[in-house]
Amino acid sequence: MVAITGMFSGIAVKDIDAARTFYKDTLGLGVEDNPMSALNIALPQGGIVFVYPKGDHEPATYTVLNFEVADIDVAVDELKAKGVVFEIYDGAHQDDKGIARGKAANYGPDIAWFTDPSGNILSVLEN
């Protein structure tokens, strides 16, 4: 077996400066410049997400990062106050805040989706 000594995830962005501002100032995450002209975003439970620039970046059609929160209503309200726009998906049964209330329906967590400046799909969710 390979001796794995660590692990991290990576996502591409079109504009590293816009990503730095969004992840640091809008989401309040710890962001450090990486020597490879990239970013290291500190995760609350440890580890990092490596964010790198890619000029021809095409965002995925699925959620690339999920942020667990204690109170989804508070999180959505705070992010909206910072200019974040929440996505509405056909069939997701979201309320007027953009939250899919999965807990009440016995169908997973309460979750709301939004994008970063490069169109990467992110979510806040409350289990």
CA distances from 98 to 21, 88, 117 (A): 24, 6, 19
pLDDT digits (tens, 9 = 90+) for 107-123: 899 999 999 999 999 99
Q: Evaluate if residue 59 carries a pLDDT over 90.
A: yes
Q: pLDDT exceeding 70 applies to what percent of the chain?
A: 100
pLDDT digits (tens, 9 = 90+) for 4-24: 998 899 999 999 999 999 999
CATH superfamily placement of domain 9-126: 2,3-Dihydroxybiphenyl 1,2-Dioxygenase, domain 1 (3.10.180.10)
- Scanning the structure block, which residue is given the tokens 């007027």? 96
Q: Is the pTM of this model over 0.85?
A: yes
Mean pLDDT score across all residues of the chain = 95
| Tokens standing for residue 44 | 């609350």
pLDDT at 39: 98
Give the residue extent of every domain in the chain.
9-126
| Tokens standing for residue 111 | 């979750």
Count Cβ atoms within 10 A of the Cβ of residue 76 and give its class: 0-12 exposed, 13-18 middle, 19 or more buried. Answer: buried
Strand ranges for the chain from DSSP E? 9-13, 31-34, 38-42, 48-53, 63-68, 100-101, 110-115, 121-126
